[in-house]
Structure 1
């Protein structure tokens, strides 16, 4: 005997869950993330997951499941923010970037930009698309996933793959010079 496949949650069910739990979730996340824009991204991601797989959860445990998903996403956001902060601090400490070292050479800057452009051109179309949407269009990964109709994890994975490939190609280019 096979059980019927569960049906996805309806828009009304999602809206009801949002009305019931979004504000409490926002207050909870404030203690984890502490930044309003990140909190909104986390809530959007959590409810996006609810739309995708919420039908697989038990009705009585949906609130706990939603909070768990939001908590994990908040921690991931915090890690990403910390990484971005370290990168910015490293850029500020670079003597060639802040004017403490020798003046910037426009030819070197142009050569670096050309190397980056070539490395990006060598990426697969899927990786280029996610990279462009995240960096140039400043979209969240949730927005990218929604627009491309792919899971959030796939969007994140494509970005990670793109950055790793670029890092490898650019490191190789620097060794050649």
Structure 2
């Protein structure tokens, strides 16, 4: 039985990867060509969304580059499917959080949309809309850009990050901070 500490055997790409600490690009490309479509179909079956399946596939093969050298060559295929399974589960969790966020922010979209109709007193509604617009106007431009793209243009955080050339974490942080500021400002206006 071979372990990660065993010396690489001649002609064993995973063995040479163990020595270097990573799978080389050619090995990962070969793996992708060989079983990438099968892994994608597996992910698509789990996630039922082609974009999420593509994201999970990319994350799976990124992990193959980073950690694939730890897997035994004869079990690399199974290892990739286990990684893909975990990535799909993570995608589902993120999707659930995103749906809860969108549901929770429905009030913001309704309040900021001048065409929205709600069965409340028109004066109270007009004041609330004005308060939301003022709170939005008080956000830094970088935060407002992310809020507009996410809520009003209905883009994903990944799309926003890609379009603006920013790391995903930066986009997520800007959204969280913008929501914190909006929440505080609107709560302060509601208090007597």
Give the TM-score, by structure 2 length: 0.62
Structure 1 pair 162–18 and aligned structure 2 pair: CA distance change class (3 A): farther
- Does 1:119 find its partner at 2:129? no
Secondary structure of the residue that 2:135 maps to in structure 1? helix
For residues 111-161 of structure 1, what are the alpha-carbon distances to aligned partners after superposition, in whole Å with 9 as ceiling and x for unaligned? Answer: 222211121122222211111111111111221122122333332232222
Match of 1:32 in 2: none
For residues 32-85 of structure 1, what are the alpha-carbon distances to aligned partners after superposition, in whole Å with 9 as ceiling and x for unaligned? Answer: xxxx4xx33422432454576663231634443233122112122124335655
Secondary structure of the residue that 1:57 maps to in structure 2? helix
Cα distance in 2 between the residues matched to 1:153 and 1:57? 22
Match of 1:108 in 2: 124
Q: Larger C-alpha radius of gyration, 1 or 2?
A: 2
Structure 1 pair 5–26 and aligned structure 2 pair: CA distance change class (3 A): closer
Query: 1:42 aligned to 46, 52, 72, which one?
Result: 52
* Aligned positions of 1:164-175 closer than 5 A: 164-175=180-191
In structure 1, list runs of 5 or more residues that go unmatched. 30-35, 89-96
- Please state how far the C-alpha of 1:7 moved relative to its aligned partner: 7.2
Structure 1 pair 165–7 and aligned structure 2 pair: CA distance change class (3 A): farther
Give the TM-score, by structure 1 length: 0.66
Cα distance in 2 between the residues matched to 1:133 and 1:83? 14
Cα distance in 1 between the residues matched to 2:97 and 2:133? 28
Match of 2:99 in 1: 81
Query: 2:160 aligned to 144, 150, 156, which one?
Result: 144
- Does 1:131 find its partner at 2:147? yes
CA RMSD of aligned residues (A): 3.5
Cα distance in 2 between the residues matched to 1:47 and 1:152? 18
Cα distance in 1 between the residues matched to 2:21 and 2:43? 32
Indicate if the aligned counterparts of 2:46 and 2:88 stay in contact, CA closer than 8 A. no
Structure number with higher relative contact order (C-alpha < 8 Å, ≥ 6 residues apart): 1
Secondary structure of the residue that 1:138 maps to in structure 2? coil
